[in-house]
Chains A and B, each alone.
Chain A
Amino acid sequence: MSGFTISRRTMLAGSAALLASTAMPTIGWAQTPKKGGRLVVAADSEPRNLNPAIVASNGVFFISSKVVETLAEASFDGKDGLQPRLALSWEGAADGLSVTFKLRDGVKWHDGKPFTSADVAFSALQIWKPLQNLGRTVFKDLAAVDTPDELTAVFKFAKPTPFQLIRNALPALSSVVPKHVYETGKIEENPANNAPVGTGPFKFAEYKAGQYYRLQKNTDYWGKDEPWLDEIVYQVLPDRTSAAAALEAEEIQLAAFSAVPLADLDRISKVPGLKVITKGYEGLTYQLVVEINHRRKELADLKVRQAIAHAIDKDFVVKTVFLGYAATATGPVPKNDPQFYTADVPTYAFDVAKANALLDEAGYKKGPDGKRFSLKLLPAPYFNETKQFGDYLRQALAAIGIDAELVNNDSPAHIKAVYTDHAFDLAVGPPVFRGDPAISTTILVQSGIPDGVPFSNQGGYKNEDLDALIAKASETLDTAARTELYKEFQKKVAADLPLINVAEWSFISVARDTVGKIANNPRWAVSNWADTYLAG
């Protein structure tokens, strides 16, 4: 592919350069790969804890995944969608009680000490299981990690745990940190949380609060001839418009995670030397969801929920709110998931007449003012798109006689209102699909979750059938059977609408076309960038 484009590049050079500058930016590939150089990247926030073993979130991975590595990384073409990192192979026992990892030989920590199975055991038992936001759920039954030799780690589970789940969790949940750095003192207060030590292609060099993070090439990296870059600098740019300006002014070479607002992409894509890349986030899909408070009498009625689903024009949302950079959703698993997605679920075509009929049927007739009832609608403030969809939803509901009052909060206030106080009727949320429904998806509809747990079912929805299905899937070891159960799960959710899935989207990168090897895995922005280069 790149060989072809390089020759095309050469061919087009010269007289056709002008044409190329307008036609090629989106498909432009970097020229001759070169070693060295400093890649300057826009960062829109400064995570307060940079230890990815404790905080498994994209904001932390964006910086730390270059320093601290996981056992395996996501891959477009690898077996089970994985490629080896610190682990070379992984195998689950038939009884679901153990998983054996064979580790990479000759790996050194940034301080020169050797990486061994003891580090994996320590990270898993002392950090992932008790402290990590996601690991506390996935590794809850992890009882011990045996280390028969320095390069073998055997995870022992107290209860049968599906190997498929563990496998799918590896890219995000298995960051390994050095035991010798963390074994003394409180793990949460360890200074290495702010200056991580790992095995990755880059060493953490410095952090200037409010200004930048600097990572430096790890000359002892295990990957042959890697990394290509000498340095990665994350320049903190809190204002979203400044990322686009910085790209144009050539002060930065890459803005990932949609740091350039969607509305600017069209213009930016026409700037010579810049390319817009929509790939490389397949493993980080966000879902646009209408969360429903089932404590409201009207919303507890399936017909009302169906009516709301029919009132939403998903294609319009994708076209207008996301400017086409999204896909319509059918259910709780995104379409781009290679393992679990099924299209065979009840769907709700955009049909205002039908929605009105359903509401009439449910007994909520229009009053003299054309209104059936009023609702409080809380759009999550984390993304422009969730706020804009809130505006759209208000109008869509007005068309079927539901009067929605928009309540706009900032992030902490929204979290408290929805997940602790339940002071909402409808909310717009962006949950993340993390490669396996058991990691952070089933929790959105399952009952019995204590108050205050964010991004979970706090709408008072309870469906014993669905709960039983989720429980069964969580202990089904056979991959095919487990996948089948999650397909059933999607059907049930789409039929009963505990929440309404509207769209699925991911992020967009904008880079100078000198930056090479972008987006070559489904979690590229949060992977290790060992092969990323700056063309000469």
Chain B
Amino acid sequence: MTRALTLLRRRLLGSTFVLLIVVIGTFLLLEAAPGDAVDAYIVSTGGDTGMIELLRHRWGLDQSELTRLANYLWALLHLDLGQSVTFSRPIRDVILERLPTTLLLMGSATALSFGLGSSLGIYAGARPGSFRDRFLSIGSLALYAVPGFWLGLVLIVIFAVDLRWLPIGGIETIASSKTGLARAADIAIHLVLPVSALGFIYLALYLRMMRAGMAEAWRQDFVLAARSRGLSRRRIVLAHVARNALLPLVTMLGLQSAQMLGGSVVIESVFAVPGLGRLAQEAVAARDTPLLLGIILTSAVLVIVVNLLVDVAYAFLDPRVGASEAGA
């Protein structure tokens, strides 16, 4: 247990610096982008100088970059994410409204790609070099090469437009006033297509990693030992070979969480899912700096937490990890 705690303490300390760098970097990047929130706003309205000055003043954009950055960091220190200029609402509320949707989408997609990917990987890795191994490896690679939005559109055309089995988008039936279990079922049905689109793309990674790990493990002495003890092939595959190949996959799970967030920007737009990814895209388009900073901070915290969990899980799975830090 102390190993996990030490790990936690060390990671939290490092994370704070990471977050600070993320915030300042994002702020500077957005400042470097031409046009500000007011420029983005007047695209759809037009307006004269008086109106434009008024807006810049009201949104605090007439202050210098440094003042705004300092103000932002100061507010952040008080755990205040500020006010969104596009939504005229506290950013915390806007993000909290979208976060569950994205977590649900990403969690389900990760579970799908990890579960299905590693299972298929075990299936392929059980007999490296066999036909099924080659078929699955090449098939998953092809899927990985497909752009997310295209896969999404194809799924929509087949399952929502032609077959009409599933809804084309959204997170739930609009204005349906469903509650409880009926609502959960409704959300689940709406998630099938976006989760598949997002999950299938990353499936290849887990599949190939599992397969490669297993191919490696087959050559190890302990496999030979297990064989000589007369264990069934099934037992060797699952309890010895696959188990040893699993560790790198857990690492991948942490790394993937960041990638998934990026992928969800596209998938959320295609499927009209009101999540964090789409919000980020809207924030960039509207040059809503504080909102985008809030989203990036949230995502960064999310990624850090997931990786922390992965590390802790790792420490439990493999006794060697963190052993040297226990005494430090």
- Seen from chain A, the residues whose Cβ lies within 8 Å of a Cβ on chain B are 38, 40, 45, 47-49, 55-57, 59, 131, 133-134, 136-137, 188-189, 193-194, 206, 208-212, 214, 231, 233, 235-239, 241-242, 245-246, 248-249, 251, 382, 409-417, 420-421, 440, 450, 452-455
Contact indicator B47/A454 (Cβ below 8 Å): yes
Contact indicator B88/A415 (Cβ below 8 Å): no
Let me know if B36 is at the binding interface, CB within 8 A: yes
Nearest neighbor of B84 in chain A, beta-carbon distance: A48
Contact indicator B164/A209 (Cβ below 8 Å): no
Which residues from B are CB-within-8-Å of A131? 51
Nearest neighbor of B53 in chain A, beta-carbon distance: A452
Whether A136 contacts B274 in the complex (CB less than 8 A), given A48-B86, A242-B156, A416-B39, comes out as no
Within 8 Å by CB of B50, from A48, A136, A208, A251, lies A136
Contact indicator A235/B51 (Cβ below 8 Å): no
Contact indicator A210/B34 (Cβ below 8 Å): no
Report the bound CA distance from A55 to B51 in whole Å: 11
| CB pairs A–B below 8 angstroms (10 shown) | A48-B41, A48-B87, A56-B45, A210-B273, A233-B174, A235-B272, A238-B269, A239-B270, A412-B287, A453-B48
Within 8 Å by CB of B168, from A210, A245, A415, lies A245
Whether A416 contacts B35 in the complex (CB less than 8 A), given A48-B86, A246-B169, A251-B167, comes out as yes
Let me know if B97 is at the binding interface, CB within 8 A: yes
Nearest neighbor of B39 in chain A, beta-carbon distance: A412
Within 8 Å by CB of A57, from B45, B52, B164, B269, lies B45
Contact indicator A208/B272 (Cβ below 8 Å): no
Nearest neighbor of A56 in chain B, beta-carbon distance: B45
Let me know if B180 is at the binding interface, CB within 8 A: no
Contact indicator A210/B169 (Cβ below 8 Å): no
Chain B proximity of A230: nearest CB distance (Å):
12
Report the bound CA distance from A188 to B58 in whole Å: 10
Which residues from B are CB-within-8-Å of A452? 49, 52
Contact indicator B45/A239 (Cβ below 8 Å): no
Which residues from A are CB-within-8-Å of B287? 412
Known: A55-B45, A236-B272, A452-B52. 5 other contacts (CB 8 A): A189-B88, A209-B98, A412-B285, A415-B42, A454-B46
Within 8 Å by CB of A194, from B45, B88, B167, B274, lies B88
Which residues from B are CB-within-8-Å of A241? 153, 270
Nearest neighbor of B173 in chain A, beta-carbon distance: A251
* Chain A to chain B: the 5 pairs with minimum beta-carbon distance, closest first: A210-B274, A412-B35, A412-B40, A413-B34, A412-B39
Whether A245 contacts B171 in the complex (CB less than 8 A), given A133-B47, A412-B40, comes out as no
Contact indicator B47/A211 (Cβ below 8 Å): no
Which residues from B are CB-within-8-Å of A193? 88
Contact indicator A209/B278 (Cβ below 8 Å): no
Contact with A along B6-45 (1 / 0, CB 8 A): 0000000000000000000000000001111101111111
Which residues from A are CB-within-8-Å of B36? 412, 416
Contact indicator A48/B88 (Cβ below 8 Å): yes
Let me know if B209 is at the binding interface, CB within 8 A: no
Contact indicator B51/A249 (Cβ below 8 Å): no
Let me know if B160 is at the binding interface, CB within 8 A: yes
Contact indicator A410/B174 (Cβ below 8 Å): no
CB within 8 Å of A: which of B242-281?
Answer: 269-275, 278-279
Chain A proximity of B322: nearest CB distance (Å):
41
Nearest neighbor of A451 in chain B, beta-carbon distance: B49
Within 8 Å by CB of B164, from A48, A249, A410, lies A249
Which residues from A are CB-within-8-Å of B97? 209
Which residues from B are CB-within-8-Å of A420? 39
Contact indicator B48/A238 (Cβ below 8 Å): no
Let me know if B157 is at the binding interface, CB within 8 A: yes
Contact indicator B48/A245 (Cβ below 8 Å): no
Which residues from A are CB-within-8-Å of B49? 450, 452-453
- Size category, B interface: 35 or more
Which residues from A are CB-within-8-Å of B171? 211
Whether A415 contacts B274 in the complex (CB less than 8 A), given A242-B168, A251-B167, comes out as no
Contact indicator B46/A455 (Cβ below 8 Å): yes
Let me know if B94 is at the binding interface, CB within 8 A: yes
Nearest neighbor of B287 in chain A, beta-carbon distance: A412
Let me know if B317 is at the binding interface, CB within 8 A: no
Report the bound CA distance from A134 to B45 in whole Å: 8
Contact indicator B168/A246 (Cβ below 8 Å): yes
Whether A453 contacts B52 in the complex (CB less than 8 A), given A188-B58, A412-B287, A416-B39, comes out as yes
Contact indicator B35/A413 (Cβ below 8 Å): yes
Report the bound CA distance from A417 to B153 in whole Å: 34
Report the bound CA distance from A76 to B167 in whole Å: 39
Which residues from A are CB-within-8-Å of B45? 55-57, 133
Chain B proximity of A38: nearest CB distance (Å):
8
Within 8 Å by CB of A212, from B41, B43, B164, B175, lies B175
Which residues from A are CB-within-8-Å of B285? 410-412
Whether A133 contacts B43 in the complex (CB less than 8 A), given A245-B161, A249-B161, comes out as no
Within 8 Å by CB of B34, from A194, A242, A249, A417, lies A417
Report the bound CA distance from A206 to B177 in whole Å: 12
Nearest neighbor of B88 in chain A, beta-carbon distance: A48
Let me know if B170 is at the binding interface, CB within 8 A: yes
Which residues from A are CB-within-8-Å of B46? 57, 133-134, 440, 454-455
Chain B proximity of A356: nearest CB distance (Å):
35
Residue from A248, A412, A414 with most neighbouring chain B CB atoms (10 Å): A412
Contact indicator A209/B47 (Cβ below 8 Å): no
Which residues from B are CB-within-8-Å of A211? 170-171, 174, 272, 274
Chain A proximity of B152: nearest CB distance (Å):
9
Chain B proximity of A295: nearest CB distance (Å):
19
Chain B proximity of A367: nearest CB distance (Å):
32
Contact indicator B175/A206 (Cβ below 8 Å): yes
Contact indicator A208/B42 (Cβ below 8 Å): no
Within 8 Å by CB of B43, from A38, A238, A453, A454, lies A454
Contact indicator B160/A249 (Cβ below 8 Å): yes
Nearest neighbor of B281 in chain A, beta-carbon distance: A238
Chain A proximity of B48: nearest CB distance (Å):
6
Nearest neighbor of A250 in chain B, beta-carbon distance: B164
Which residues from B are CB-within-8-Å of A38? 175
Contact indicator A237/B47 (Cβ below 8 Å): no
Within 8 Å by CB of B272, from A136, A238, A412, lies A238
Report the bound CA distance from A455 to B19 in whole Å: 40
Contact indicator A242/B270 (Cβ below 8 Å): yes
Within 8 Å by CB of A237, from B42, B167, B169, lies B169
Contact indicator B47/A210 (Cβ below 8 Å): no
Residue from B45, B286, B287 with most neighbouring chain A CB atoms (10 Å): B45
Whether A251 contacts B168 in the complex (CB less than 8 A), given A209-B94, A239-B269, comes out as yes
Which residues from A are CB-within-8-Å of B167? 249, 251
Chain A proximity of B302: nearest CB distance (Å):
19
Report the bound CA distance from A453 to B36 in whole Å: 14
Chain A proximity of B198: nearest CB distance (Å):
15
CB within 8 Å of A: which of B50-88?
Answer: 50-52, 58, 86-88
Contact indicator A249/B58 (Cβ below 8 Å): no
Contact with A along B142-168 (1 / 0, CB 8 A): 000000010001001100110010011
Which residues from B are CB-within-8-Å of A48? 41, 86-88
Residue from A45, A236, A415 with most neighbouring chain B CB atoms (10 Å): A415
Nearest neighbor of A38 in chain B, beta-carbon distance: B175
